[in-house]
Amino acid sequence: MDATNLVMVFFTVVSQMAVGAFLVLGVVQLFLSRGRSPETVERVVRPILYVIGPVLVLGLIVSMLHMHDVTNAFHVITNWQSSWLSREIIFGCLFAGAGFLFAILEWFQKGPALLRHLIAAAAALFGVCLVVAQAGIYYSLVAIPAWHSWAVPFQFGATTLLLGCLSVAAALMITTWIRLRGVRKAERLEAVRAEDAEVAAEMDARAKPPKGGAIRARIAEINAPATEDEWKLMATVTQGTALVGAVVAMALFVSYPLFIGQLSQGNAAAVAAAGVLSGPLLWWRLALTALSVILLGFFVYQTAGQATLEKSRVLVTFVLISFVLALAGEFLGRFLHYLAMIKAGLP
């Protein structure tokens, strides 16, 4: 596999994860908004929003590398009426732009809520169009049997939903860990103050006023200790994303034997692609996916329904391990996607 395809492995997986996270965030926000205060909802969903933008920007920057000359992007988008690649670039930029605009407005609480919601809806629509365009690029290549197949849009959509669910759960658990760490640090400082008045006075004398103004204050607000009600909501969201993620991962696991079996009944190029897909990398891919299903469907789901805020470390660990396993599995799956690029009529 050449460097161009390696770049696209990274870009497609990361951009689909960003789209999935944005879509799941929207569903979560709608679910939590019913009968709850805006402040409580904000405390739960806001940390998720701020992990999406950097991920997508990183993917977009990497995607430009396969053009060798970044200025080629401006020539590519002129063919949007007939080219799926042009549409991918256009919708990728629109998704990133709308997503960042929404994030900025949410961060500083600027503009009416209706405007922010409309921008978020536009970003979600652009994101879906981006994934559709990515699938269209490969599905439109009729001469490559492994790409001109139902498996491409199915796998791209499944990656979007699976990694979207898990990135949201991971963002919630990392936020939980940061907030708990702040609480424990504050408790240790209070213990020191109570035991030694001289040390406390010295600590106060050395304390410096925080720099960064509004941004630093906003970060401190986001990382402030969670209440029990906030934790229950975070655990409920984690439980729901784990269930959806487990179902999607199981569907991906089942899709590979069906896909390979279909290819093995086709022409010479399809049979050759089936042989490539049936190699050792497939077993690693399936093993990672199976482990994700087990962790999500049992450990994360069960633990999220029982864990308390003070004893949330086990849940945090399970979620992060599940996320890493699923992400590695999706990278391997996309690597296999490019390895199966065997054109009919070519050896």
* Number of Cα atoms under 13 Å in the Cβ half of residue 5: 12
Q: Which pLDDT belongs to residue 100?
A: 81
Q: What is the pLDDT of residues 136-172, one digit of tens each?
A: 999 999 999 999 999 999 999 999 999 999 999 998 8
Amino acid (1-letter code) at residue 336: L
pLDDT above 90: percentage of residues in the chain: 37
In angstroms, how far is CA 117 from the centroid of its own chain? 20
In a domain? residue 234: yes
- CA distances (Å), 57 to each of 62, 99, 314, 330, in order? 9, 11, 31, 19
Average pLDDT over every residue of 267-284: 93
Q: Which pLDDT belongs to residue 83?
A: 81
Q: Which pLDDT belongs to residue 297?
A: 85
Residues present in the chain in total: 347
Which has more confidence, 283 or 210?
283
Tokens of 77: 């988008």
Which has more confidence, 14 or 183?
14
Within 10 angstroms of residue 150's Cβ, the number of other Cβ atoms is 12
In angstroms, how far is CA 95 from the centroid of its own chain? 14
Distance between CA atoms of 277 and 263, rounded to whole angstroms? 10
Distance between CA atoms of 63 and 11, rounded to whole angstroms? 6
pLDDT above 70: percentage of residues in the chain: 76
- CA distances (Å), 117 to each of 30, 32, 100, 114, in order? 11, 15, 13, 5
Q: Which pLDDT belongs to residue 240?
A: 92
46: closest CA among 315, 305, 226?
226
Q: Which pLDDT belongs to residue 246?
A: 94
Q: What is the pLDDT of residues 13-69, one digit of tens each?
A: 988 998 998 899 888 888 888 777 777 777 788 777 766 667 766 666 665 555 555
- CA distances (Å), 31 to each of 44, 45, 69, 115, 220, in order? 12, 11, 44, 19, 26
In a domain? residue 156: yes
**pTM confidence score:** 0.86
Distance between CA atoms of 203 and 184, rounded to whole angstroms? 17
In a domain? residue 344: no
When the pLDDT of each residue in the chain is averaged and rounded to a whole number, the result is 82
Find the domain containing 111 and state its range: 3-339
C-beta of residue 44 within 8 angstroms of C-beta of residue 25: no
Which has more confidence, 174 or 274?
274
In a domain? residue 244: yes
Q: Which pLDDT belongs to residue 163?
A: 94
Q: What is the pLDDT of residues 205-235, one digit of tens each?
A: 555 555 555 666 666 666 666 777 888 888 8
Counting the structural domains of the chain, the total is: 1
In a domain? residue 345: no
> Environment class of residue 116 by beta-carbon count within 10 Å: exposed (0-12), middle (13-18) or buried (19+)?
middle
